[in-house]
Amino acid sequence: MAQDKPLPVPDPVTQPYWDGLNAGELRIQRCRSCEKAVFYPRALCPHCGSRDLGWITCSGRGTLHAFTIAHRGTPAAFKGSTPYVVAMVELEEGARVMTNLIDVDPTPEAVKIGMAVEVVFEKASDAITLAKFRPR
Amino acid sequence: MMGLSGRAAIVGAAESDAIGILPGKSTLQLVAEASLNAAEDAGLSIRDIDAVFTAGWRPTEVAEYLGIAPRFFDGTQVGGSSYVIHVGHAAAAIANGLCEVALIVHGESGRSRIGMFPEGGGPQLPAGQFEAPYGLPGAVGSYAMACSRHMHEFGTTREQLAEIAVATRKWAAMNPKAFSRDPLTIEEVVSAPLICWPFGKLDCCLVTDAAGAVIVTSLERARDCRMRPIRVLGFGEGLDHQIISAMPSYVHGPGRISGPPAFAMAGVTAADIDVAQIYDSFTYTVLLTLEDLGFCRKGEGGAFVAGQRTAPGGAFPLNTSGGGLSYTHPGMFGIFTIIEAVRQLRHEYADQGPRQVADAAIGLIHGTGGRLSATGTAILGRD
């Protein structure tokens, strides 16, 4: 029997991020003190230590910062999905997020660091939507 | 800081009775074997140990199993670098009179999984919420992703990474305890089955069953031990994240933090290092570390390792045991960098031709743990 892919369990600080995805918006924190984007969501700004964080809605656009193409050594639930691209995307707002790059040939010839990407909201369960990205 | 340099010394270093594939041995049994063997190597009894340093296992678990009630202990657990970091912590504790005979030990039934300590996080932790849903393949996927950035920024190639695996295999060929000893070519490394691009199977460390232990004591007591003391001349530690998605820069590791204080305390520079043991979880781990520690400039790691520079007879003897890539790697390797450094600095291989780095007097050990998360650097010297 195929194992279910692991789903996140939100906590009180991260809940607005997950609520945003369910509403079709990519929301992240921004520090009101140093104005830097903050990800993952935290109780303080990891850049300056301020407690004064607010939420912004991102454009959903970014660039590919780094990636790997998973062939083997994957978590058990992903064995049937190989090869797939695990990527870091740098959002226009400045934060970097882990994601899957989809709708692309999973080869180093097709996937290029610096390529323009955009968010795709992928419903994973009644409670969870994941932010994935595709070339734009 | 200068007050700590050279005041403690490593006097015992050993593996478990066997290493490799050991389905008949539990993890704690391996820990016990290595601890006993390291104490015997030092000419001490396990009853002489008054401090325990371990990671993976808690100090309570190891001390209980060994029947020790230590007066000092440290369970700093930041991955495979922990044991190199413990060397510094032990040296500081010894120099300040908090303990006298410190055991640093790690064992893992990494391959056979007999009596393993618990591991893993949960879906509500940062990794569970922000990495696991995308199927990140643990350590290998994390290091591979970081490596992709180095290739992009500096033009580093898979062939350059393969130089490290090939050179390390040449050292392993001279080590009867090494798991993989057959000759290897760069072509074989780059054409091996892909695990997580850009890493093929031979860019990745082994998975074995093994334990290792070292004994650290005061320089004064060390000079009464069985073997020549190997002094702890300098040490440093660094970290700047845990999960790979939170790493500030994929081309700058925490070695840039742990290296400078280690060199400064020892009063030496990179040019003074005769032999280096740098944790090779993946080929990229080594390349990045060489840059971070200043053996070459940032971005020039690929050129530095080219032409088998780190192989036997090369200008930069590196991972002379065969490393995590070819000798052994039970899950966390740092303890084995210490053991091999001690053996080289004692000149234990003096009758084994090119296996012994000639006149080795100053060695560097460096561990990288987690997801390029935390490093320990130490400089050791022949007394």
B255-266 helix and B283-292 helix, angle to the nearest 10 degrees: 50
In this complex, the residue of A6, A72, A99 whose CB is nearest that of residue B193 is A72
Assign residue B345 the CATH number of its domain.
3.40.47.10
Q: Which residues of chain A make contact with B131, given a CB cutoff of 8 A?
A: 98
Q: Smallest CA–CA separation between A79 and chain B, in Å?
A: 9
**Contact flag B245-A84 (C-beta cutoff 8 Å):** no
**Contact flag A73-B149 (C-beta cutoff 8 Å):** no
Rounded CA-CA distance B296/B348 in Å is 29
For position A3, what pLDDT does the model report? 74
Q: In terms of CA atoms, which chain A residue is nearest residue B195?
A: A72
CB atoms within 10 A of CB A24: 10
Question: For chain B, which residues score pLDDT lower than 50?
Answer: 1
**Contact flag B152-A7 (C-beta cutoff 8 Å):** no
Q: Smallest CA–CA separation between A41 and chain B, in Å?
A: 9
Burial of B177: CB neighbours in 10 Å, binned 0-12, 13-18, 19+: middle
**Contact flag B197-A69 (C-beta cutoff 8 Å):** yes
Q: Which residues of chain B make contact with A108, given a CB cutoff of 8 A?
A: 197-198
More confident: A131 or A2:
A131
| Distant-in-sequence, close-in-space partners of B341: CB < 8 Å, separation ≥ 6 | B230, B275, B277, B363, B364, B365, B380
**Average pLDDT of chain A to the nearest whole number:** 97
The residue among B119, B125, B148 with the most chain A CBs within 10 A of its CB, best to mutate, is B148
Q: Which residues of chain B make contact with A39, given a CB cutoff of 8 A?
A: 130
Let me know if B349 is a catalytic residue: no
Domain presence at residue A112: yes
Q: Smallest CA–CA separation between A7 and chain B, in Å?
A: 6
Q: Total domain count for chain A?
A: 1
**Contact flag B148-A9 (C-beta cutoff 8 Å):** no
Q: Can you give B225-256 as a three-state secondary structure string?
A: CCCCCEEEEEEEEEECCCCHHHCCCCCCCCHH
**Contact flag B196-A10 (C-beta cutoff 8 Å):** no
Domain presence at residue A126: yes
Q: In terms of CA atoms, which chain A residue is nearest residue B197?
A: A69
Domain presence at residue A83: yes
Q: In terms of CA atoms, which chain A residue is nearest residue B128?
A: A8
Cis (ω within 30 of 0) for the bond into B330? no
In this complex, the residue of A8, A67, A83 whose CB is nearest that of residue B148 is A67
In the DSSP assignment, the letter for residue B282 is B
In this complex, the residue of B122, B134, B204 whose CB is nearest that of residue A98 is B134
pLDDT tens digits for range B184-211: 999 999 999 999 999 999 999 999 999 9
Annotated catalytic residue, options B83, B143, B250, B279: B279
**Contact flag B136-A84 (C-beta cutoff 8 Å):** no
Let me know if B279 is a catalytic residue: yes
Domain presence at residue A1: no
Q: Smallest CA–CA separation between B235 and chain A, in Å?
A: 27
The residue among A13, A86, A129 with the most chain B CBs within 10 A of its CB, best to mutate, is A86
pLDDT tens digits for range A70-117: 999 999 999 999 999 999 999 999 999 999 999 999 999 999 999 999
In this complex, the residue of B123, B137, B245 whose CB is nearest that of residue A6 is B123
**Contact flag A8-B134 (C-beta cutoff 8 Å):** no
Helices (H), B245-330: 255-266, 283-292, 301-305
Domain presence at residue A5: no
Q: What percent of chain A has pLDDT over 90?
A: 97
Domain presence at residue B144: no
pLDDT bin (cut points 50, 70, 90) of residue A2 is: low
**B98 close to B216: Cβ distance less than 8 angstroms:** no
Give me B202's structure tokens: 């031979």
Q: Total domain count for chain B?
A: 1
Domain presence at residue B377: yes
**B209 close to B29: Cβ distance less than 8 angstroms:** no
Question: B303 is in which domain, residue-wise?
Answer: 2-117+204-382
**A86 close to A73: Cβ distance less than 8 angstroms:** no
**Contact flag B123-A88 (C-beta cutoff 8 Å):** no
Give yes or no for residue A1 having a pLDDT over 50: no
Q: Report the length, in residues, of chain B.
A: 383
pLDDT tens digits for range A19-51: 999 999 999 999 999 999 999 999 999 999 999
Domain presence at residue A116: yes
Burial of A86: CB neighbours in 10 Å, binned 0-12, 13-18, 19+: buried
Which strand ranges, in their side-by-side order, compose the sheet holding A27-31?
Answer: A37-38, A27-31, A53-57
Question: A120 is in which domain, residue-wise?
Answer: 15-135
Domain presence at residue B252: yes
Q: In terms of CA atoms, which chain B residue is nearest residue A68?
A: B145
Domain presence at residue B269: yes
Q: Does A130 touch chain B (CB under 8 A)?
A: yes
Domain presence at residue A28: yes
Domain presence at residue A106: yes
